[in-house]
């Protein structure tokens, strides 16, 4: 009989109930984390003129914010491991609020880098990690769906913030807008207060679904326990960050693939409108392309979560992720071949699907590989390492466009940077699944022999007792 929820969590996640409220809270937190840096670009032109700096200096504000958000991952992980998600998210929301309010009184561009970039970035990091982690504690069977729904926050919040920012700018100028944005972002504190720590005492009736769901996780869970049992001669840092993750096969596959794919992930989004304008399309139609992209992204994320939850996909969800990555690559490779505005619309729709699929599965697959217990640490390590490609990707692509004067080489490069990891994932996870099956088999056999030995011993003991009685 297949073992029940071997989640190594020590309890059975509710998979519903308050969990859905937590998904809403995570939706808000994740939405602000990803959409906030992107939406600030509306103010850049005026701030650039006000401080008399070049556009690239002003664009650094967004980059510093994004970089800090990714780099502060491990710190966020430590805090979540220690204190749980709720306090960290509340502090995070408060930090971003404080950052934006103090930026509204800024007197120099460096002031903005520090307030919006560094403080804001920390605040967003303290929102992102805990939101992802808490989903893992509340959901097991419906986790892909919950993840997909939560990640939909990013396009929805971006869609809302963009016109809102424009309206604030027209009414209050950049200073007043930053002040009001500081208040709006405090809603992350509301989201944080909703993130009730899951009740581990009450044991819920486990579902009768065949829980063949943790394909990649089970054996890795066994590994985790073995490593935890190892002597506690670890340093203070080791207690909070689990560096043994670097020996974890699945984690390494994920990390290597992600480092490569992030080089080509964001650049096509950044250059979609400029590419359209370069082809002679007017500004409004080019901006409309981005809206089409955001809409298809918005709808595909929950759909991907739902599909990933089905019993055909869930056990082999790594392949689904590999498919999503490769699909991205194929989209970019085909983009330059599509003619005119109609071609770009088609590309925007399909790219929106690809981007959404990948985003919805990005953290679900990591959870699937390392398990909910180690997820917090794993995601912290991932984000700080991915910091590099995320920041270097768009400028590198920009350099490609400048050198060749044509956007198609950039698209081909991005396509390759996504197709190669996709294929890498397919191959490596095939081997990984096989190895996991082998390990599971060995474990099962090992357990059975251990039980037999126990029975034998008990039997012998009874026999000896009988003999003694006699």
Partner 1 sequence: MSAPCMHPSCLLLLLLVVCRHAHTNLVSVTENTTVTTEPPVETLSPITPPVAPLTPLQTGQKSVVLTGENHTEKVEVVNPVTLNLECVWTGDNKRLPNITGYWTKDGKTIESSYSNTQLQNDRYYLRKEFSIMSEEDLGTYSCIFGPKAKVDFILAAPYLGEMRDKPIVSYVGDSVVMICKMDEKKSKPINWNWYKHNGTSKEKIEVDSPGHRYKITKDEKKTKLVVHNLTESDSGVYFCGAVYGIGTSMGHMQLRVITYFEPLKPFLGILVEVLVLVAVILLYEKTGSKKENQSGPEGNPDQTSNLSHGENAVADGHSGTARQRKV
Report, in Å, the least distance between residue 374 CB and partner 1.
12
Report, in Å, the least distance between residue 123 CB and partner 1.
14
Report, in Å, the least distance between residue 422 CB and partner 1.
34
Indicate the residue among 173 and 398 with the shorter CB distance to partner 1. Answer: 173
Report, in Å, the least distance between residue 201 CB and partner 1.
9
Indicate the residue among 50 and 409 with the shorter CB distance to partner 1. Answer: 50
Indicate the residue among 72 and 188 with the shorter CB distance to partner 1. Answer: 188
Indicate the residue among 177 and 326 with the shorter CB distance to partner 1. Answer: 177
**Where along the sequence are the contacts to partner 1 (CB under 8 A)?**
1-6, 8-10, 12, 46, 49-50, 52, 90, 170-173, 175-177, 179-180, 182-184, 186-187, 189-190, 193-194, 196, 202-206, 221-222, 225, 373, 443-444, 447, 451
Report, in Å, the least distance between residue 155 CB and partner 1.
23
Report, in Å, the least distance between residue 104 CB and partner 1.
8
Indicate the residue among 168 and 369 with the shorter CB distance to partner 1. Answer: 168
Report, in Å, the least distance between residue 4 CB and partner 1.
5
Indicate the residue among 211 and 303 with the shorter CB distance to partner 1. Answer: 211
Report, in Å, the least distance between residue 62 CB and partner 1.
21
Indicate the residue among 12 and 397 with the shorter CB distance to partner 1. Answer: 12
Indicate the residue among 177 and 258 with the shorter CB distance to partner 1. Answer: 177
* 3-state SS track over the chain: CCCCCCCCCCCCCCCCCHHHHHHHHHHHHHHHHHHHHHHHHHHHHHHHHHHCCCHHHHHHHHHHHHHHHHHCHHHHHHHHHHHCHHHHHHHHHHHHHHHHHHHCCCCCHHHHHHHHHHHHHHHHHHHHHHHHHHHHHHCCCCHHHHHHHHHCHHHHHHHHHHHHHHHHHHHHHHHHHHHHHHHHHCHHHHHHHHCCCCCCCCCCCCCCCCCCCCCCHHHHHHHHHHHHHCCCCCCHHHHHCCHHHHHCHHHHHHHHHHHHHCCCCCHHHHCHHHHHHHCCCCHHHHHHHHHHHHHHHHHHHHHHHHHHHCCCCHHHHHHHHHHHHHHHHHHHHHHHHCCHHHHHHHHHHHHHHHHHHHHHHHHHHHHHHHHHHHHHHHHHHHHHHHHHHHHHHHHHHHHHHHHHCCCHHHHHHHHHHHHHHHHHHHHHHHHHHHHHHHHHHHHHHHHHHHHHHHHHHHHHHHHHHHHHHC
């Amino acid at each position: 009989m297949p073992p029940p929820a071997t989640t190594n969590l020590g309890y059975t996640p509710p998979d519903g109930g308050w969990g859905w409220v937590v998904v809403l809270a995570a939706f808000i937190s994740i939405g602000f984390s990803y959409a906030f840096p992107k939406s600030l670009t509306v103010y850049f032109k005026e701030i650039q003129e006000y401080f008399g700096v070049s556009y690239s200096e002003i664009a650094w504000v967004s980059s510093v914010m994004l970089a800090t958000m990714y780099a502060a991952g491990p710190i966020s992980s430590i805090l979540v491991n220690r204190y749980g998600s709720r306090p960290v998210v509340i502090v995070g929301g408060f930090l971003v609020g404080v950052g934006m309010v103090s930026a509204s009184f800024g007197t120099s561009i460096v002031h903005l880098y520090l307030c919006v970039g560094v403080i804001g970035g920390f605040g967003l990091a303290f929102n992102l990690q805990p939101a992802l982690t808490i989903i893992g504690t509340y959901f097991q069977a419906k986790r892909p769906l919950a993840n997909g729904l939560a990640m939909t926050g990013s396009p929805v919040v971006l869609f809302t913030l963009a016109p809102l920012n424009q309206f604030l700018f027209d009414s209050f100028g950049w200073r007043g807008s930053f002040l009001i944005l500081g208040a709006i972002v405090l809603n992350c504190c509301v989201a944080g207060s909703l993130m009730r720590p899951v009740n581990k005492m009450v044991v819920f009736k486990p579902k009768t679904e065949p829980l063949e769901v943790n394909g990649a996780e089970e054996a890795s869970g066994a590994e985790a326990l073995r490593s935890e049992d190892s002597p506690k001669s670890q340093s203070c840092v080791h207690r909070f960050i689990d560096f043994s993750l670097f020996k974890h096969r699945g984690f390494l596959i994920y990390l290597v693939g992600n480092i490569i794919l992030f080089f080509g992930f964001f650049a096509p989004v950044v250059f979609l409108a400029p590419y359209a304008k370069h082809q002679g399309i007017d500004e409004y139609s080019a901006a409309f392309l981005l809206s089409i992209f955001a809409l298809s992204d918005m709808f595909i994320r929950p759909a991907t979560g739902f599909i990933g939850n089905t019993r055909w996909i869930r056990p082999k969800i790594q392949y689904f992720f590999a498919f999503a990555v490769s699909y991205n690559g194929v989209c970019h490779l085909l983009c330059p071949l599509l003619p005119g505005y109609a071609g770009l619309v088609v590309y925007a729709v399909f790219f929106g699907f690809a981007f959404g699929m990948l985003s919805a599965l990005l953290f679900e697959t990591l959870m699937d590989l390392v398990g909910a217990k180690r997820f917090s640490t794993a995601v912290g390590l991932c984000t700080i390492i991915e910091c590099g490609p995320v920041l270097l990707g768009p400028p590198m692509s920009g350099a490609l466009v400048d050198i060749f004067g044509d956007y198609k080489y950039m698209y081909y490069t991005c396509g390759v940077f996504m197709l190669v990891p996709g294929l890498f994932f397919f191959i490596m996870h095939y081997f990984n699944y096989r190895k996991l099956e082998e390990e599971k088999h060995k474990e099962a056999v090992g357990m059975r022999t251990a039980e037999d030995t126990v029975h034998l011993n008990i039997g012998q003991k009874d026999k000896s007792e009988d003999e003694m009685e006699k």
